[in-house]
């Protein structure tokens, strides 16, 4: 069995490295069959609390898988086929000033508030659409996953303590021309509408009313998947040495769908750090140039 194949069969692995300078690195590999990001952060927080001498975790873990309804599954189609891409890997930081500027624009034009996720995602989606130069009528798609614990308050004895997989996919699709010609405010608005619709879609799926598979997303170069690690809770874990200076993800083997992960930059920096694996070499320069205009 290969090393990667062996990792795929593990529920949880941890490696602690102590450096001669006195610093530590904690590496974690976990299965999404057991945890989602919030659940994994809850588990690590409990480990840190016990390492610091607490008699029990401040948030008691809840298994309660049986409490969550098991809705009927729509008929599955043929197995998907995947294309391996040669993504350019890079990191970019979005400043708080840039994020605030867009938030202020949204407030001025729509009288609505928006989140940092909305702003950063709109930036990435717009810049990437301009970079990959799809045909004007070609569809470009955005995918993300949102936590749904707050929608299961009647099913779970304690949504805060539930550490299992509890996310639901959302997103939107537009033509390439629509995205490249839209303002950031318009794209932010579309993202907020997609997030608002996600709750209704999840409850519809939970009640068995969904007619299509909720994972029916085309995994190709036209789809961008974004993941926000900046508020999951990994940055708050304390093993007895204080909160970590930096938390990051190793997803170098993800090569079938363009992806971006949002992280907090190393302290004391502020803003959002992007781990990018979303364009191939022919589109990298334009993507970087477009992003630098907004970052």
Q: Which residues are catalytic?
A: 32, 238
Contacts of 177 (CB under 8 A, 6+ apart): 136, 137
Query: End-to-end distance of the chain based on CA atoms, in angstroms?
Result: 44
């Amino acid at each position: 069995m290969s090393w990667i194949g062996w990792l795929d069969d593990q529920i949880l692995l941890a490696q602690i490295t102590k450096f001669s300078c006195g610093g530590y690195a904690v590496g974690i590999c976990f299965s999404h069959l057991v945890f989602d990001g919030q659940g994994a952060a809850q588990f690590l927080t409990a480990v840190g609390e016990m390492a610091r001498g607490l008699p029990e975790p401040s948030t008691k873990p809840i298994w309660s898988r049986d409490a969550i309804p098991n809705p009927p599954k729509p008929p599955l189609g043929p197995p998907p086929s995947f294309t391996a891409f040669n993504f350019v890997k890079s990191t970019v930081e979005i400043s708080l000033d840039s994020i605030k500027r867009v938030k202020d624009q949204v407030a001025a034009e729509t009288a609505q508030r928006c989140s940092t996720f909305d702003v950063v995602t709109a930036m990435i989606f717009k810049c990437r659409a301009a970079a990959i130069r799809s045909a004007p009528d070609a569809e470009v798609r955005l995918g993300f996953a949102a936590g749904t614990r707050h929608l299961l308050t009647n099913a779970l004895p304690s949504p805060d303590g539930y550490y299992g997989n509890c996310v639901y996919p959302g997103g939107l699709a537009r033509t390439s021309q629509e995205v490249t010609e839209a303002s950031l405010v318009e794209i932010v608005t579309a993202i907020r509408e997609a997030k608002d619709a996600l709750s209704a879609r999840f409850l519809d799926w939970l009640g068995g009313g969904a007619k299509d598979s909720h994972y029916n997303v085309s995994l190709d170069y036209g789809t961008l998947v974004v993941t926000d690690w900046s508020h999951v809770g990994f940055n708050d874990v304390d093993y007895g040495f204080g909160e970590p200076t930096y938390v990051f993800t190793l997803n170098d083997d993800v090569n079938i769908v363009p992806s971006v992960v949002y992280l907090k930059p190393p302290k004391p920096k502020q803003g959002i750090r992007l781990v990018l694996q979303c364009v191939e070499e022919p589109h990298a320069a334009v993507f970087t140039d477009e992003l630098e205009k907004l970052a």
